[in-house]
Structures are given as structure tokens and as C-alpha cells.
Amino acid sequence: MSSDAEEELLALATTKPGSEERALKELEDLFLRFNVKVRIVKSGVGGNILIYGSVPKGYLAAILSRSRLAYSNRVMVFSAVTRTQIDDIVLASVNLVKTVAAKKKISTFRVKARCRGSQISAHEIEILVGQNIKERLGLAVNLSSPALVIYIEVIGEVTGIAVSRYPYFFASGIVFMERAFEEKIQDLIQWFAPFRFAVVAFSGGVDSSVVAFAARSAKMDKALAVTFDSPLLPPGELDNAVSLAKIIGIKHEVIKTELPPSVLENSSLRCYYCKKGEMGELLAIAKKRGYDLVVDGTNYSDLGGAWRPGARALSEIGVRSPLAELKITKPEVRAIARSLGLPNAEKPSMACLASRFPYGTQITLEGLKRVGMAELFLKELGFRVIRVRDFGSIARIEVGEDELGKLVEKRTAKIVYEKFRQLGYLYVDADILGYRSGSMDEGLKVQLNQ
């Protein structure tokens, strides 16, 4: 067992008199259900319970929000921890507010302190911290409707500090996230409530990860994530999905799949046939095992495209898309993932490798492997947003607009050209517009409009 000094103090739960043991057991059971390792101990100061570990703060808050303890007592997730000495408390508070204020437009604040087991008074902390924030950062005190609230909890020799934007989710005890996103994730978790069991089509991308987290939160051990091990999966994505499923704490299975001729023929309905086949397999698994729901990670922003045959297939066979149904957009999905502490919150979207080939061009396993190796090479060079469009002997590279300069820089261009020639391409082009989602659909959209 690690000592307190070697661990990070993450949160404090203040229990009602006489309920410490019951609250302690409830917290232990809660973290056990989520397979999250923390150490929970009674502080010895007025019934406080301390939570130690290395769990991302947003993820910790989301887990705690599932506990009845959060609504009958008070739970604070700390943004910073310091020694209970007034200079340390002031410095940690100012630095924390400075970090938050740098990211958000904040002009007013309020300090709320509580002290137990210490000679320092709450009033003294509120005055000194308030004066320093006002003088050093130029923010104004507003007691009625502050843009930011600084919570300071003194527990004997250790002090925890948390901040929350106003209006804040503190009535039920959790300093969680901006209220709009807190409501979104709670709505998403509640969406699963009418169902007994859920199967999540899990790619390991940010959309399906947020859906998997919500399903895991709502269904506890009655949710299953399934990833298809397909030749269409970009290199490294399967390992990524396995790792993320463990982080989320959801049961996970990998299913090996082959590509049917209808997909390899690569018509404009390729996505329709692919989705109908894979999701049909998930529905069969769900029916066989008694699961009453199959969901995917389609978000509301995805429905804005002109050509969505995959979405049509999902609708026809009865696969649900909770993000789309709740009108949760891609930017909101990323914001929720950041708040939950998910490591893939900023991960670029990653479509299947079939999208690298023009419609009507026969897809081969060799071609998929070549494209995958080409994109992996670019990723290893440090490019984040990557698509290699395969036109037979020609490779057209799309990268993020901010990375175009790096791609055409003489030394990098030479390295890329030589590697792509080794992979079998005769010509290597850079798309001057950079990456854009669905660029291979552009010719198809013209045909549809005509």
C-alpha cells in the first residue's frame, strides 16, 4: 500500500454524522464496479472520507455522480492539493484560477472556504485568497453571481482546492464540469435507462468511447463493447480500442471479419453494405445473448452530409445512435470526452481504409495494406490528420491545413516520396486544400446534384 505522500489526494467526501462506515462501503463498491483503483480512507477529522489515486479528475467526478452519496452528502473533486499553510493555499489558489482564466473569459469570482481540524479560519482564507486573486489577476469579487467559484476545503494538515464556473453543479455535491456538458452526459446515461442490456459498436474513436462510457455507467456490467477486426481498420486502431475499453471499464470483445464482394466492389453504396453486414452481425449476437439494444457512435454532426448510405443501413435494421438522437454534436462529444478525462478526446476522426479509394475501383487486401502502411509512415513522421487517397499508381496525400507546409518542405517531401515509391506508388501528390472529410464523395455529390 502506497503512503499518502506518494499518492495524489483526489477528492473529499463529507458524510452525515454516524454514516461514515456506510458511506465508505458505498464508495468502495462504486469504484469496484467501474474497475477503478483508488484508496479510500477516513481522515479522522469530523467524518471526512479521503480518496487517493491517479484517476483523471473528470472521469472521477463522472463516477462519483453515479453514487447516492453525492446527493445525500457532499463530495468535492480537487483541482489542486497543498499543505495547510496560508501562503501555500494562497499561491495554489491564484495559480489555479490563473490557469482557468487563461482559457475562459472570466472577470468575477467568489471564494468559499471550510476548515476542519486546523487553526486557520475559513474567513481568513477567504479574505487572503480573495485579495490576492483580485490584486494579482485583476478579477472582481461578486458574491451573488460570480463567473468562477473557488472552493477551499481544509482537512487537518492538507488542503484541497476546486474551481467551478457559475452556475455550478454543487447542490448535489459534485464539482463536475460546465453545466451544459454535465447535462449532456447525464442525458446520455439516462437514454440507456429503459433498456436492460446494451451492445456498443466500438471503434475506439471519441464518439463510440463516449457512448461506451455512458452505456457502462447506466448498465454497469450489462454493457458490451464489440470491435470488428477487419482489413478496413487502420494500423494500430485495434490495439487502441482494446486499451480504451479497459480504461472505460466496459466488457469488450473483438470479432474477426472478412470483406464481402459487395464491399470490395466499392460502389457508391459500399458503406450501406458494410454497415448492414457488420451491424447485422451485432444484432444477431445481441439476440442470441438476450441483449435488447445495439448502438453506435454516430453523432448529430454526422447527419449533415449529403451522402450517408451507412446511416440509412443503421436505420433500416434498427441500430440506434444515441448521440444523434440527443442532438449531441462532434464538438460537444469532444468537450464531454475532455471532461471525462478520456485520452482520445482530441483524436482526429478516422474513417475506414475503404474511403481511400475512388468509387468504382476494386478494393484489394494488398491495396488496403499499402494504404495503411503509407498512413502509418506519415503518422510516425509526426503528422496528425492524415489521408492517403489511392488512385492506383498515384497517391494523393491529405494532411491538416496547418501541416501542409511541413509536408512539402524539401527534406520531408523527399523522405515521403522515397517511402511511397518503395510501397509501389509511381507518383506522390499533395492535395493543396489539405484534409477534408468525404473528399472522395465530391465527384459523387456533383452527380447527385445533376
pLDDT digits (tens, 9 = 90+) for 311-366: 889 989 999 999 999 999 988 898 888 767 678 888 888 889 999 999 999 999 99
Instruction: Give me 217's grid cell.
Output: 455507467
Q: DSSP string of 131-171? A: HHHHHHH-PEE-SSS-SEEEEEEEETTEEEEEEEESS-S-T
What distances in angstroms separate CA 449 from CA 185, 266, 442, 444, one per listed residue?
38, 21, 11, 9
CATH 3.30.300 fits 353-446, yes or no: yes
Intrachain domains 4-77 and 184-340 with the same fold: no
What distances in angstroms separate CA 279 from CA 76, 317, 367, 400, 444, one per listed residue?
41, 8, 25, 31, 25
Q: Which amino acid is at 363?
A: I
pLDDT digits (tens, 9 = 90+) for 205-226: 999 999 998 998 887 678 999 9
Residue showing cell 496560508: 86
Q: What percent of the chain has pLDDT over 70?
A: 85
Q: What are the boundaries of each domain within the chain?
A: 4-77, 80-176, 184-340, 353-446
* Best CATH choice for the domain 4-77 from the list 1.10.10, 3.40.50, 3.30.70, 3.30.300: 3.30.70
Task: Kindly report the average pLDDT of the chain as a whole number.
Answer: 83
Q: What is the pLDDT of residue 424?
A: 97
CA–CA dist 136, 229 (Å, integer): 55
Fold for the domain defined by 80-176: VC0802-like (3.30.2130)
Q: Residue 176 — pLDDT band, cuts 50, 70, 90?
A: very low
CA–CA dist 152, 169 (Å, integer): 16
Q: Residue 238 — pLDDT band, cuts 50, 70, 90?
A: very high
Q: How far is CA 138 from the centre of its chain?
A: 33
pTM over 0.75: no
Decide: residue 381, CB within 10 A, 0-12 exposed, 13-18 middle, 19+ buried: middle
Count of CB atoms within 10 A of residue 141's CB?
14
pLDDT digits (tens, 9 = 90+) for 66-112: 565 544 445 677 778 888 889 999 999 998 898 888 777 788 888 98
Taking each helix axis from N to C terminus, what angle separates 330-340 and 57-64, rounded to the nearest 10 degrees?
Answer: 90
> Would the CA dihedral through 27, 29, 34, 36 be positive or negative?
positive
pLDDT digits (tens, 9 = 90+) for 181-212: 667 887 898 899 899 899 999 999 999 999 99
Q: What is the pLDDT of residue 118?
A: 79
Name beta bridge partners: 150.
111, 163
Q: Is the pLDDT confidence value at 19 over 70?
A: yes
Name beta bridge partners: 114.
153
What's the CATH number for 184-340?
3.40.50.620
Q: Is the pLDDT confidence value at 429 over 70?
A: yes
